[in-house]
Structure 1
Amino acid sequence: MDPTGELLPEAPPDGGLTTGAVARLLGVAPTTLRSWDRRYGLGPATREGGRHRRWTAADITVLRAMCRLTSEGLPPGEAARTVLAGTASSGPVPAPAARRAPGRAPSDAARRDCRGLARAAGRLDGRAMDELLAAALDRYGLPAAWDEVIMPVLHAVGRRWESAGERYIEVEHLLSWHVSGALRRVSAQPPPHAPGAGLSLLACMPGETHSLALEALAATLTRQGLPVGMFGAALPVAALVEAVRRTGPDAVVLWAQSAETASPTPVARVEAVEWGVRGARRRPAVLVAGPGWAGRRPPGARQVSGLAHAVDVLATGAAVR
Protein backbone atom coordinates (compact mmCIF):
# COMPACT_ATOMS: atom_id res chain seq x y z
CA MET A 1 0.00 0.00 0.00
CA ASP A 2 1.28 3.48 -0.88
CA PRO A 3 0.88 5.68 2.21
CA THR A 4 0.77 8.84 0.10
CA GLY A 5 -2.44 7.61 -1.53
CA GLU A 6 -4.41 8.34 1.64
CA LEU A 7 -3.00 11.87 1.85
CA LEU A 8 -3.48 12.86 -1.78
CA PRO A 9 -6.72 14.74 -2.47
CA GLU A 10 -8.75 13.59 -5.46
CA ALA A 11 -8.41 17.07 -6.96
CA PRO A 12 -5.46 19.14 -5.68
CA PRO A 13 -6.55 22.70 -4.88
CA ASP A 14 -6.13 25.63 -7.27
CA GLY A 15 -5.46 23.42 -10.26
CA GLY A 16 -2.52 21.56 -8.74
CA LEU A 17 0.11 21.37 -6.01
CA THR A 18 3.42 23.19 -5.99
CA THR A 19 6.69 21.32 -6.35
CA GLY A 20 7.47 21.89 -2.67
CA ALA A 21 4.10 20.49 -1.58
CA VAL A 22 4.50 17.41 -3.78
CA ALA A 23 8.05 16.87 -2.49
CA ARG A 24 6.79 16.91 1.10
CA LEU A 25 3.96 14.55 0.17
CA LEU A 26 6.24 12.00 -1.49
CA GLY A 27 9.22 12.40 0.83
CA VAL A 28 11.70 13.43 -1.87
CA ALA A 29 13.73 16.56 -2.48
CA PRO A 30 12.25 19.29 -4.72
CA THR A 31 15.47 19.19 -6.75
CA THR A 32 14.79 15.51 -7.47
CA LEU A 33 11.38 16.33 -8.94
CA ARG A 34 12.86 19.10 -11.07
CA SER A 35 15.60 16.74 -12.22
CA TRP A 36 13.04 14.07 -13.21
CA ASP A 37 11.13 16.72 -15.15
CA ARG A 38 14.23 18.03 -16.93
CA ARG A 39 15.92 14.70 -17.66
CA TYR A 40 13.06 12.27 -18.20
CA GLY A 41 10.00 14.34 -19.05
CA LEU A 42 8.14 13.44 -15.84
CA GLY A 43 6.84 16.97 -15.53
CA PRO A 44 3.44 18.44 -14.68
CA ALA A 45 0.69 18.76 -17.25
CA THR A 46 0.30 22.47 -16.54
CA ARG A 47 2.53 25.34 -15.48
CA GLU A 48 1.25 28.42 -13.74
CA GLY A 49 2.07 31.45 -15.86
CA GLY A 50 3.89 29.16 -18.26
CA ARG A 51 6.78 28.65 -15.83
CA HIS A 52 5.79 27.50 -12.34
CA ARG A 53 5.07 23.79 -11.99
CA ARG A 54 1.60 22.78 -10.78
CA TRP A 55 1.18 19.05 -10.24
CA THR A 56 -2.25 17.43 -10.71
CA ALA A 57 -3.49 14.17 -9.21
CA ALA A 58 -2.57 12.34 -12.42
CA ASP A 59 0.95 13.84 -12.33
CA ILE A 60 1.42 12.75 -8.72
CA THR A 61 0.27 9.22 -9.52
CA VAL A 62 3.09 9.03 -12.07
CA LEU A 63 5.57 10.37 -9.52
CA ARG A 64 4.44 7.83 -6.91
CA ALA A 65 5.15 5.04 -9.41
CA MET A 66 8.58 6.56 -10.07
CA CYS A 67 9.33 6.68 -6.33
CA ARG A 68 8.24 3.06 -5.90
CA LEU A 69 10.46 1.79 -8.72
CA THR A 70 13.54 3.73 -7.66
CA SER A 71 13.09 2.61 -4.04
CA GLU A 72 13.14 -0.97 -5.34
CA GLY A 73 16.62 -0.34 -6.76
CA LEU A 74 15.80 0.51 -10.40
CA PRO A 75 18.02 3.30 -11.83
CA PRO A 76 15.99 6.50 -12.34
CA GLY A 77 16.41 6.51 -16.12
CA GLU A 78 15.07 2.99 -16.47
CA ALA A 79 12.33 3.65 -13.92
CA ALA A 80 11.23 6.73 -15.90
CA ARG A 81 11.02 4.74 -19.13
CA THR A 82 8.96 2.08 -17.33
CA VAL A 83 6.61 4.68 -15.86
CA LEU A 84 6.17 6.51 -19.18
CA ALA A 85 5.52 3.24 -21.01
CA GLY A 86 2.83 2.32 -18.49
CA THR A 87 1.27 5.79 -18.77
CA ALA A 88 1.23 5.68 -22.57
CA SER A 89 -0.54 2.30 -22.56
CA SER A 90 -2.98 3.46 -19.82
CA GLY A 91 -2.10 0.28 -17.99
CA PRO A 92 -0.47 -0.47 -14.63
CA VAL A 93 3.21 0.32 -14.25
CA PRO A 94 5.04 -2.99 -14.74
CA ALA A 95 7.43 -4.44 -12.18
CA PRO A 96 11.09 -3.46 -12.58
CA ALA A 97 13.37 -5.57 -14.71
CA ALA A 98 16.21 -7.56 -13.20
CA ARG A 99 19.14 -5.59 -11.80
CA ARG A 100 22.36 -5.11 -13.69
CA ALA A 101 24.11 -8.42 -14.07
CA PRO A 102 27.15 -8.82 -11.78
CA GLY A 103 30.44 -8.20 -13.56
CA ARG A 104 28.98 -6.07 -16.35
CA ALA A 105 31.41 -3.42 -17.54
CA PRO A 106 30.56 0.20 -16.64
CA SER A 107 29.05 2.29 -19.42
CA ASP A 108 30.90 5.13 -21.13
CA ALA A 109 28.81 7.58 -19.10
CA ALA A 110 29.83 5.85 -15.86
CA ARG A 111 33.48 6.02 -16.86
CA ARG A 112 33.13 9.76 -17.49
CA ASP A 113 31.47 10.16 -14.10
CA CYS A 114 34.37 8.24 -12.51
CA ARG A 115 36.91 10.54 -14.10
CA GLY A 116 35.02 13.65 -13.04
CA LEU A 117 34.69 12.47 -9.43
CA ALA A 118 38.36 11.44 -9.28
CA ARG A 119 39.46 14.86 -10.59
CA ALA A 120 37.26 16.68 -8.08
CA ALA A 121 38.72 14.55 -5.29
CA GLY A 122 42.25 15.29 -6.48
CA ARG A 123 41.48 19.03 -6.37
CA LEU A 124 39.98 18.63 -2.86
CA ASP A 125 36.84 20.27 -4.29
CA GLY A 126 34.11 19.27 -1.84
CA ARG A 127 31.31 21.14 -3.58
CA ALA A 128 32.05 19.47 -6.91
CA MET A 129 32.21 16.06 -5.25
CA ASP A 130 28.79 16.61 -3.65
CA GLU A 131 27.27 17.61 -6.99
CA LEU A 132 28.84 14.72 -8.89
CA LEU A 133 27.85 12.16 -6.26
CA ALA A 134 24.26 13.44 -6.17
CA ALA A 135 24.06 13.31 -9.98
CA ALA A 136 25.42 9.75 -10.11
CA LEU A 137 23.00 8.53 -7.43
CA ASP A 138 20.10 10.17 -9.23
CA ARG A 139 21.13 8.87 -12.66
CA TYR A 140 21.91 5.24 -11.80
CA GLY A 141 20.24 4.52 -8.47
CA LEU A 142 22.27 3.63 -5.40
CA PRO A 143 23.39 0.05 -6.11
CA ALA A 144 24.58 0.78 -9.66
CA ALA A 145 26.11 4.14 -8.69
CA TRP A 146 28.07 2.39 -5.95
CA ASP A 147 29.29 -0.41 -8.22
CA GLU A 148 30.05 1.64 -11.33
CA VAL A 149 31.14 5.06 -10.04
CA ILE A 150 31.78 5.38 -6.31
CA MET A 151 33.63 2.15 -5.57
CA PRO A 152 35.95 2.36 -8.63
CA VAL A 153 36.98 5.88 -7.63
CA LEU A 154 37.53 4.87 -4.01
CA HIS A 155 39.72 1.98 -5.18
CA ALA A 156 41.68 4.24 -7.54
CA VAL A 157 42.26 6.82 -4.82
CA GLY A 158 43.31 4.07 -2.41
CA ARG A 159 45.85 2.71 -4.91
CA ARG A 160 47.21 6.21 -5.46
CA TRP A 161 47.58 6.71 -1.72
CA GLU A 162 49.40 3.38 -1.35
CA SER A 163 51.89 4.38 -4.05
CA ALA A 164 52.30 8.02 -2.98
CA GLY A 165 52.45 7.52 0.78
CA GLU A 166 51.26 10.26 3.10
CA ARG A 167 51.13 12.81 0.26
CA TYR A 168 47.72 11.58 -0.95
CA ILE A 169 45.94 10.49 2.19
CA GLU A 170 44.05 13.80 2.48
CA VAL A 171 42.31 13.02 -0.83
CA GLU A 172 41.11 9.64 0.41
CA HIS A 173 39.84 11.10 3.67
CA LEU A 174 37.94 13.96 2.02
CA LEU A 175 36.42 11.71 -0.65
CA SER A 176 35.31 9.19 1.99
CA TRP A 177 33.68 11.96 4.01
CA HIS A 178 31.68 13.23 1.03
CA VAL A 179 30.66 9.73 -0.04
CA SER A 180 29.41 9.08 3.49
CA GLY A 181 27.43 12.31 3.42
CA ALA A 182 25.88 11.45 0.05
CA LEU A 183 24.78 8.04 1.35
CA ARG A 184 23.22 9.59 4.43
CA ARG A 185 21.27 12.05 2.28
CA VAL A 186 19.90 9.18 0.20
CA SER A 187 18.43 7.51 3.30
CA ALA A 188 17.38 10.71 5.07
CA GLN A 189 13.66 10.27 4.23
CA PRO A 190 12.98 6.53 4.18
CA PRO A 191 9.62 5.07 3.18
CA PRO A 192 7.57 3.16 5.78
CA HIS A 193 9.00 -0.20 6.77
CA ALA A 194 7.90 -3.06 4.57
CA PRO A 195 5.34 -5.27 6.36
CA GLY A 196 6.92 -8.28 8.00
CA ALA A 197 10.45 -7.20 7.17
CA GLY A 198 13.04 -8.42 9.67
CA LEU A 199 15.81 -6.34 11.19
CA SER A 200 19.32 -6.52 9.73
CA LEU A 201 22.31 -5.43 11.83
CA LEU A 202 25.37 -4.18 9.96
CA ALA A 203 28.79 -3.92 11.62
CA CYS A 204 32.45 -3.92 10.75
CA MET A 205 34.59 -6.60 12.32
CA PRO A 206 36.54 -5.65 15.45
CA GLY A 207 39.50 -3.52 14.39
CA GLU A 208 38.01 -2.80 10.94
CA THR A 209 37.70 0.93 10.20
CA HIS A 210 36.47 0.86 6.57
CA SER A 211 32.69 1.25 6.77
CA LEU A 212 31.61 2.96 3.52
CA ALA A 213 30.43 -0.26 1.86
CA LEU A 214 28.21 -0.97 4.86
CA GLU A 215 26.89 2.60 4.71
CA ALA A 216 25.93 1.98 1.08
CA LEU A 217 24.14 -1.22 2.08
CA ALA A 218 22.37 0.53 4.96
CA ALA A 219 21.20 3.35 2.67
CA THR A 220 19.92 0.93 0.04
CA LEU A 221 17.99 -1.17 2.56
CA THR A 222 16.57 1.96 4.18
CA ARG A 223 15.33 3.26 0.82
CA GLN A 224 13.52 -0.04 0.34
CA GLY A 225 11.75 0.29 3.68
CA LEU A 226 13.75 -2.50 5.34
CA PRO A 227 14.71 -2.00 9.01
CA VAL A 228 18.44 -1.60 9.60
CA GLY A 229 20.72 -1.20 12.59
CA MET A 230 24.01 0.33 11.45
CA PHE A 231 26.91 0.10 13.92
CA GLY A 232 29.72 1.13 11.60
CA ALA A 233 33.43 0.75 12.19
CA ALA A 234 35.39 -1.37 14.64
CA LEU A 235 32.59 -2.57 16.91
CA PRO A 236 34.03 -4.65 19.79
CA VAL A 237 32.80 -8.23 19.71
CA ALA A 238 31.25 -8.03 23.20
CA ALA A 239 29.22 -4.98 22.15
CA LEU A 240 28.15 -6.71 18.93
CA VAL A 241 26.98 -9.80 20.82
CA GLU A 242 25.02 -7.63 23.26
CA ALA A 243 23.39 -5.70 20.39
CA VAL A 244 22.31 -8.95 18.74
CA ARG A 245 20.90 -10.28 22.01
CA ARG A 246 18.95 -7.08 22.71
CA THR A 247 17.47 -6.57 19.23
CA GLY A 248 16.92 -10.12 17.96
CA PRO A 249 17.72 -9.46 14.29
CA ASP A 250 16.92 -11.80 11.42
CA ALA A 251 20.38 -11.25 9.95
CA VAL A 252 23.78 -9.80 10.86
CA VAL A 253 26.21 -8.60 8.17
CA LEU A 254 29.89 -8.46 9.18
CA TRP A 255 32.31 -6.52 6.97
CA ALA A 256 36.06 -7.14 6.70
CA GLN A 257 38.16 -5.09 4.31
CA SER A 258 41.36 -7.01 5.01
CA ALA A 259 42.33 -10.56 5.91
CA GLU A 260 43.73 -9.26 9.22
CA THR A 261 40.24 -8.36 10.47
CA ALA A 262 38.42 -11.37 8.97
CA SER A 263 38.51 -13.52 12.08
CA PRO A 264 36.10 -16.47 12.45
CA THR A 265 35.92 -16.15 16.23
CA PRO A 266 33.57 -13.12 16.42
CA VAL A 267 31.40 -14.72 13.73
CA ALA A 268 31.02 -17.86 15.81
CA ARG A 269 30.11 -15.81 18.89
CA VAL A 270 27.38 -13.94 16.98
CA GLU A 271 26.00 -17.17 15.52
CA ALA A 272 25.72 -18.63 19.03
CA VAL A 273 23.50 -15.82 20.37
CA GLU A 274 19.94 -16.99 21.14
CA TRP A 275 16.76 -15.22 22.20
CA GLY A 276 13.08 -15.99 22.63
CA VAL A 277 11.09 -18.29 24.90
CA ARG A 278 12.28 -21.79 25.75
CA GLY A 279 11.28 -24.23 23.05
CA ALA A 280 11.19 -21.50 20.39
CA ARG A 281 14.68 -20.07 20.61
CA ARG A 282 16.04 -18.23 17.58
CA ARG A 283 19.48 -17.35 16.25
CA PRO A 284 20.50 -14.78 13.63
CA ALA A 285 21.63 -15.65 10.15
CA VAL A 286 25.19 -14.33 9.73
CA LEU A 287 26.45 -12.95 6.43
CA VAL A 288 30.09 -12.02 5.83
CA ALA A 289 31.02 -9.40 3.25
CA GLY A 290 34.12 -7.66 1.99
CA PRO A 291 37.41 -8.63 0.35
CA GLY A 292 38.90 -9.77 3.65
CA TRP A 293 36.74 -12.90 3.55
CA ALA A 294 37.97 -14.05 0.13
CA GLY A 295 38.71 -17.77 0.38
CA ARG A 296 38.10 -17.87 4.15
CA ARG A 297 34.34 -17.98 4.76
CA PRO A 298 33.67 -19.10 8.36
CA PRO A 299 31.62 -22.30 8.83
CA GLY A 300 27.91 -21.58 9.15
CA ALA A 301 28.09 -18.09 7.67
CA ARG A 302 26.88 -17.06 4.24
CA GLN A 303 29.15 -14.94 2.02
CA VAL A 304 27.73 -12.17 -0.14
CA SER A 305 29.64 -10.99 -3.18
CA GLY A 306 28.66 -7.34 -3.40
CA LEU A 307 26.08 -4.67 -2.68
CA ALA A 308 23.38 -5.93 -5.07
CA HIS A 309 23.80 -9.52 -3.84
CA ALA A 310 23.56 -8.49 -0.19
CA VAL A 311 20.43 -6.43 -0.88
CA ASP A 312 18.81 -9.33 -2.73
CA VAL A 313 19.56 -11.76 0.10
CA LEU A 314 18.34 -9.47 2.88
CA ALA A 315 15.33 -8.06 1.01
CA THR A 316 13.95 -11.48 0.12
CA GLY A 317 14.61 -13.01 3.53
CA ALA A 318 16.87 -15.61 1.93
CA ALA A 319 19.41 -15.12 4.70
CA VAL A 320 17.05 -16.42 7.38
CA ARG A 321 17.60 -20.07 8.11
Structure 2
Amino acid sequence: MNRPEPLAQQAEAGPPNLSPAAAAAFASRLRLLAQALQTLPDKPEETPDSALRTLWHLAAGNPLSVAAAQSLELPEPSPEQLARLDALIARRLQGIPLAYLTGRQRFMGLDLLAGPEALIPRRETEMLGNAALAKLRTLADACGTVHAIDVCCGCGNLALALAHAEPRARLHASDLAADAVELARRNTERLGLGDRVELYTGDLLALFGIAKFLGRIDMIVSAPPYISAGKLDSMPAEIIGHEPSLAFDGGPFGVGILMRLMRESPAVLRAGGWLGIEVGLGQGPAMLQLLNKSASFDTVDAVRDAQGQIRVLLARKSGNGSIRA
Protein backbone atom coordinates (compact mmCIF):
# COMPACT_ATOMS: atom_id res chain seq x y z
CA MET A 1 0.00 0.00 0.00
CA ASN A 2 1.35 3.47 -0.87
CA ARG A 3 2.11 5.72 2.06
CA PRO A 4 0.57 9.21 2.04
CA GLU A 5 2.87 12.11 1.31
CA PRO A 6 3.96 14.09 4.42
CA LEU A 7 1.96 17.15 3.35
CA ALA A 8 -1.14 15.05 2.86
CA GLN A 9 -0.67 13.51 6.30
CA GLN A 10 -0.39 16.98 7.85
CA ALA A 11 -3.44 18.18 5.97
CA GLU A 12 -5.46 15.32 7.43
CA ALA A 13 -4.22 15.35 11.01
CA GLY A 14 -2.45 18.64 11.77
CA PRO A 15 0.48 18.98 14.23
CA PRO A 16 0.17 16.48 17.11
CA ASN A 17 0.80 19.01 19.91
CA LEU A 18 -2.38 20.96 19.08
CA SER A 19 -5.86 20.23 20.35
CA PRO A 20 -8.12 18.40 17.87
CA ALA A 21 -9.92 21.64 17.01
CA ALA A 22 -6.69 23.58 16.46
CA ALA A 23 -5.18 20.69 14.48
CA ALA A 24 -8.24 20.68 12.24
CA ALA A 25 -7.90 24.46 11.79
CA PHE A 26 -4.26 23.98 10.79
CA ALA A 27 -5.12 21.17 8.37
CA SER A 28 -7.83 23.15 6.59
CA ARG A 29 -5.57 26.15 6.11
CA LEU A 30 -2.73 23.96 4.92
CA ARG A 31 -5.01 22.54 2.25
CA LEU A 32 -5.86 26.07 1.14
CA LEU A 33 -2.21 27.09 0.89
CA ALA A 34 -1.26 23.87 -0.89
CA GLN A 35 -3.84 24.72 -3.56
CA ALA A 36 -3.41 28.49 -3.84
CA LEU A 37 0.08 29.55 -2.71
CA GLN A 38 2.59 30.27 -5.46
CA THR A 39 6.16 30.12 -4.17
CA LEU A 40 9.30 31.30 -5.94
CA PRO A 41 12.42 29.23 -6.64
CA ASP A 42 14.66 31.97 -5.25
CA LYS A 43 12.93 31.60 -1.86
CA PRO A 44 13.18 27.81 -1.40
CA GLU A 45 12.64 28.04 2.35
CA GLU A 46 8.96 28.76 1.78
CA THR A 47 6.49 25.91 1.29
CA PRO A 48 2.78 25.78 2.14
CA ASP A 49 3.65 24.12 5.45
CA SER A 50 6.49 26.48 6.40
CA ALA A 51 4.43 29.52 5.40
CA LEU A 52 1.49 28.41 7.52
CA ARG A 53 3.68 27.72 10.56
CA THR A 54 5.34 31.11 10.20
CA LEU A 55 2.04 32.97 9.87
CA TRP A 56 0.56 30.95 12.76
CA HIS A 57 3.32 32.25 15.06
CA LEU A 58 2.89 35.76 13.68
CA ALA A 59 -0.85 35.69 14.37
CA ALA A 60 0.01 34.72 17.95
CA GLY A 61 2.18 37.82 18.28
CA ASN A 62 5.56 36.18 17.66
CA PRO A 63 7.16 37.42 14.41
CA LEU A 64 9.77 34.91 13.26
CA SER A 65 11.76 34.10 10.16
CA VAL A 66 10.60 31.06 8.23
CA ALA A 67 13.66 29.16 9.46
CA ALA A 68 13.06 30.05 13.11
CA ALA A 69 9.37 29.20 12.98
CA GLN A 70 10.04 25.62 11.90
CA SER A 71 11.91 24.77 15.11
CA LEU A 72 9.11 25.75 17.51
CA GLU A 73 5.88 24.02 18.44
CA LEU A 74 2.76 25.83 17.36
CA PRO A 75 0.85 27.61 20.15
CA GLU A 76 -2.79 26.82 20.80
CA PRO A 77 -4.67 29.66 19.06
CA SER A 78 -7.50 31.79 20.34
CA PRO A 79 -10.43 32.63 18.06
CA GLU A 80 -8.96 36.12 17.64
CA GLN A 81 -5.61 34.67 16.60
CA LEU A 82 -7.28 32.42 14.04
CA ALA A 83 -9.01 35.45 12.60
CA ARG A 84 -5.64 37.26 12.39
CA LEU A 85 -4.15 34.16 10.79
CA ASP A 86 -6.81 34.15 8.08
CA ALA A 87 -6.18 37.82 7.37
CA LEU A 88 -2.43 37.14 7.09
CA ILE A 89 -3.01 34.18 4.77
CA ALA A 90 -5.18 36.38 2.57
CA ARG A 91 -2.41 38.98 2.35
CA ARG A 92 0.17 36.31 1.52
CA LEU A 93 -2.07 34.93 -1.24
CA GLN A 94 -2.35 38.47 -2.61
CA GLY A 95 1.40 38.29 -3.25
CA ILE A 96 2.90 40.12 -0.28
CA PRO A 97 6.24 38.40 0.46
CA LEU A 98 6.28 36.31 3.61
CA ALA A 99 9.38 38.11 4.92
CA TYR A 100 7.58 41.45 4.61
CA LEU A 101 4.60 40.14 6.57
CA THR A 102 6.79 38.84 9.39
CA GLY A 103 9.47 41.50 9.15
CA ARG A 104 12.09 38.75 9.51
CA GLN A 105 14.48 36.81 7.25
CA ARG A 106 17.33 34.44 8.11
CA PHE A 107 20.68 34.93 6.38
CA MET A 108 23.81 32.90 7.15
CA GLY A 109 22.33 31.89 10.48
CA LEU A 110 21.26 35.40 11.52
CA ASP A 111 17.62 36.39 11.88
CA LEU A 112 17.42 39.89 10.42
CA LEU A 113 14.74 42.53 10.21
CA ALA A 114 13.25 42.64 6.72
CA GLY A 115 11.02 45.20 5.06
CA PRO A 116 10.11 46.85 1.75
CA GLU A 117 13.02 49.26 2.20
CA ALA A 118 15.41 46.57 0.94
CA LEU A 119 15.59 43.39 -1.10
CA ILE A 120 14.87 40.20 0.86
CA PRO A 121 18.20 38.35 1.36
CA ARG A 122 18.47 35.28 -0.89
CA ARG A 123 20.26 31.95 -0.73
CA GLU A 124 22.41 32.97 -3.72
CA THR A 125 23.87 35.78 -1.65
CA GLU A 126 24.75 33.29 1.07
CA MET A 127 27.05 31.70 -1.52
CA LEU A 128 28.89 35.00 -1.77
CA GLY A 129 28.88 35.45 1.99
CA ASN A 130 30.37 32.03 2.69
CA ALA A 131 33.02 32.35 -0.02
CA ALA A 132 33.96 35.85 1.15
CA LEU A 133 34.12 34.71 4.77
CA ALA A 134 36.66 32.02 3.90
CA LYS A 135 38.89 34.61 2.19
CA LEU A 136 38.41 37.11 5.02
CA ARG A 137 39.45 34.55 7.64
CA THR A 138 42.60 33.72 5.70
CA LEU A 139 43.46 37.42 5.50
CA ALA A 140 42.77 37.87 9.21
CA ASP A 141 45.01 34.91 10.07
CA ALA A 142 47.84 36.65 8.20
CA CYS A 143 47.18 40.28 9.14
CA GLY A 144 45.05 40.41 12.29
CA THR A 145 42.34 43.04 11.96
CA VAL A 146 40.87 43.24 8.45
CA HIS A 147 38.71 45.92 6.84
CA ALA A 148 35.97 45.15 4.33
CA ILE A 149 33.39 47.16 2.41
CA ASP A 150 29.90 45.96 1.45
CA VAL A 151 28.34 48.07 -1.30
CA CYS A 152 24.67 47.83 -2.22
CA CYS A 153 24.27 46.58 1.36
CA GLY A 154 20.46 46.59 1.49
CA CYS A 155 19.34 45.51 4.96
CA GLY A 156 23.01 44.94 5.89
CA ASN A 157 22.90 41.17 5.60
CA LEU A 158 26.34 40.60 4.06
CA ALA A 159 28.20 43.09 6.22
CA LEU A 160 26.54 41.90 9.40
CA ALA A 161 27.01 38.21 8.63
CA LEU A 162 30.71 38.74 7.96
CA ALA A 163 31.22 40.85 11.07
CA HIS A 164 29.30 38.37 13.22
CA ALA A 165 31.24 35.36 11.92
CA GLU A 166 34.70 36.98 11.97
CA PRO A 167 35.41 39.09 15.09
CA ARG A 168 38.63 40.42 13.56
CA ALA A 169 36.71 42.11 10.73
CA ARG A 170 35.68 45.76 10.57
CA LEU A 171 32.92 46.40 8.02
CA HIS A 172 31.90 49.53 6.14
CA ALA A 173 28.52 49.16 4.41
CA SER A 174 26.81 51.53 2.00
CA ASP A 175 23.69 51.76 -0.13
CA LEU A 176 22.24 54.37 -2.45
CA ALA A 177 18.85 54.09 -0.73
CA ALA A 178 18.72 55.94 2.58
CA ASP A 179 15.78 53.88 3.85
CA ALA A 180 17.72 50.67 3.19
CA VAL A 181 20.63 52.06 5.20
CA GLU A 182 18.25 52.88 8.04
CA LEU A 183 17.00 49.28 8.01
CA ALA A 184 20.62 48.11 8.06
CA ARG A 185 21.21 50.40 11.03
CA ARG A 186 18.34 48.81 12.93
CA ASN A 187 19.75 45.36 12.19
CA THR A 188 23.20 46.48 13.32
CA GLU A 189 21.84 47.73 16.63
CA ARG A 190 19.71 44.63 17.09
CA LEU A 191 22.75 42.38 16.69
CA GLY A 192 25.01 44.55 18.83
CA LEU A 193 27.56 45.04 16.06
CA GLY A 194 27.67 48.83 16.01
CA ASP A 195 31.27 48.88 17.23
CA ARG A 196 32.48 47.01 14.13
CA VAL A 197 30.00 47.95 11.38
CA GLU A 198 29.78 51.50 10.00
CA LEU A 199 26.98 52.49 7.63
CA TYR A 200 26.92 55.08 4.87
CA THR A 201 24.50 56.37 2.24
CA GLY A 202 26.05 56.80 -1.19
CA ASP A 203 26.71 55.51 -4.69
CA LEU A 204 28.86 52.37 -4.78
CA LEU A 205 32.49 53.21 -3.91
CA ALA A 206 32.22 56.99 -4.32
CA LEU A 207 32.27 57.49 -0.55
CA PHE A 208 35.48 55.53 -0.18
CA GLY A 209 37.70 57.57 -2.51
CA ILE A 210 39.56 59.21 0.38
CA ALA A 211 42.93 58.53 1.98
CA LYS A 212 41.35 56.59 4.86
CA PHE A 213 40.28 53.89 2.41
CA LEU A 214 42.32 54.15 -0.81
CA GLY A 215 44.62 51.15 -1.15
CA ARG A 216 43.85 50.02 2.40
CA ILE A 217 40.80 47.75 2.16
CA ASP A 218 41.21 43.97 2.42
CA MET A 219 37.92 43.04 0.78
CA ILE A 220 35.01 44.52 -1.14
CA VAL A 221 31.81 42.48 -1.43
CA SER A 222 28.63 43.28 -3.30
CA ALA A 223 25.36 41.65 -4.29
CA PRO A 224 24.43 44.46 -6.69
CA PRO A 225 21.43 44.92 -8.97
CA TYR A 226 22.00 42.72 -12.03
CA ILE A 227 18.63 42.23 -13.74
CA SER A 228 18.49 43.91 -17.14
CA ALA A 229 15.87 46.65 -17.42
CA GLY A 230 14.18 44.85 -20.28
CA LYS A 231 13.43 41.84 -18.10
CA LEU A 232 11.82 43.71 -15.22
CA ASP A 233 8.29 43.49 -16.65
CA SER A 234 8.56 39.71 -16.88
CA MET A 235 9.59 39.25 -13.26
CA PRO A 236 7.11 37.65 -10.83
CA ALA A 237 4.58 40.11 -9.42
CA GLU A 238 5.63 39.18 -5.90
CA ILE A 239 9.07 40.65 -6.62
CA ILE A 240 8.40 43.53 -8.99
CA GLY A 241 5.27 44.59 -7.11
CA HIS A 242 6.75 44.65 -3.61
CA GLU A 243 10.55 44.57 -3.47
CA PRO A 244 12.40 47.83 -4.33
CA SER A 245 13.30 48.01 -8.03
CA LEU A 246 16.45 49.97 -7.18
CA ALA A 247 17.79 46.77 -5.62
CA PHE A 248 17.55 44.61 -8.74
CA ASP A 249 17.45 46.95 -11.79
CA GLY A 250 20.92 46.54 -13.30
CA GLY A 251 20.36 48.87 -16.26
CA PRO A 252 19.99 48.11 -19.99
CA PHE A 253 22.18 44.98 -19.96
CA GLY A 254 22.17 44.14 -16.27
CA VAL A 255 25.96 44.30 -15.88
CA GLY A 256 26.62 48.03 -15.63
CA ILE A 257 27.10 48.06 -11.85
CA LEU A 258 29.15 44.85 -11.93
CA MET A 259 31.52 46.47 -14.45
CA ARG A 260 31.76 49.65 -12.40
CA LEU A 261 32.81 47.59 -9.39
CA MET A 262 35.50 45.87 -11.46
CA ARG A 263 36.84 49.24 -12.62
CA GLU A 264 36.60 51.15 -9.35
CA SER A 265 37.52 48.58 -6.72
CA PRO A 266 41.28 48.31 -7.46
CA ALA A 267 41.84 51.87 -6.24
CA VAL A 268 40.33 51.01 -2.86
CA LEU A 269 41.70 47.49 -2.39
CA ARG A 270 45.21 46.87 -1.11
CA ALA A 271 47.48 44.55 -3.07
CA GLY A 272 46.29 41.03 -2.26
CA GLY A 273 42.82 42.24 -1.30
CA TRP A 274 39.72 40.62 -2.77
CA LEU A 275 36.68 41.76 -4.73
CA GLY A 276 33.69 39.43 -4.29
CA ILE A 277 30.56 39.87 -6.41
CA GLU A 278 27.32 38.01 -6.96
CA VAL A 279 26.32 37.72 -10.63
CA GLY A 280 23.06 36.87 -12.33
CA LEU A 281 22.24 33.66 -14.16
CA GLY A 282 24.12 33.56 -17.45
CA GLN A 283 26.39 36.51 -16.61
CA GLY A 284 29.18 34.51 -14.98
CA PRO A 285 31.26 33.47 -18.02
CA ALA A 286 31.45 36.99 -19.48
CA MET A 287 32.28 38.57 -16.11
CA LEU A 288 34.87 35.87 -15.44
CA GLN A 289 36.48 36.62 -18.79
CA LEU A 290 36.62 40.35 -18.06
CA LEU A 291 38.26 39.79 -14.68
CA ASN A 292 40.79 37.38 -16.14
CA LYS A 293 41.73 39.97 -18.80
CA SER A 294 42.25 42.75 -16.27
CA ALA A 295 45.79 43.32 -15.02
CA SER A 296 44.24 44.71 -11.84
CA PHE A 297 43.60 41.14 -10.66
CA ASP A 298 45.97 38.17 -10.63
CA THR A 299 43.64 35.41 -9.40
CA VAL A 300 39.95 34.83 -10.07
CA ASP A 301 37.84 32.16 -8.36
CA ALA A 302 34.35 31.17 -9.53
CA VAL A 303 31.68 29.66 -7.28
CA ARG A 304 28.98 27.64 -9.01
CA ASP A 305 25.51 26.67 -7.84
CA ALA A 306 24.08 23.15 -7.82
CA GLN A 307 23.20 23.47 -11.51
CA GLY A 308 26.78 24.42 -12.44
CA GLN A 309 26.01 28.11 -13.01
CA ILE A 310 28.59 30.69 -11.91
CA ARG A 311 26.90 32.82 -9.24
CA VAL A 312 29.90 34.29 -7.39
CA LEU A 313 33.26 35.63 -8.55
CA LEU A 314 36.19 36.51 -6.31
CA ALA A 315 39.16 38.38 -7.75
CA ARG A 316 42.42 39.17 -5.94
CA LYS A 317 44.06 42.53 -6.61
CA SER A 318 47.46 42.13 -8.22
CA GLY A 319 50.58 43.78 -6.88
CA ASN A 320 50.79 46.61 -9.40
CA GLY A 321 47.04 47.22 -9.83
CA SER A 322 47.47 48.52 -13.38
CA ILE A 323 44.66 48.31 -15.94
CA ARG A 324 45.41 46.55 -19.21
CA ALA A 325 44.50 48.71 -22.20
Q: Classify the TM-score, shorter chain.
A: 0.3 to 0.5
Q: What TM-score, normalized to structure 1?
A: 0.35
Q: What TM-score, normalized to structure 2?
A: 0.35
Structure having the higher helix fraction is 1
Structure having the higher strand fraction is 2
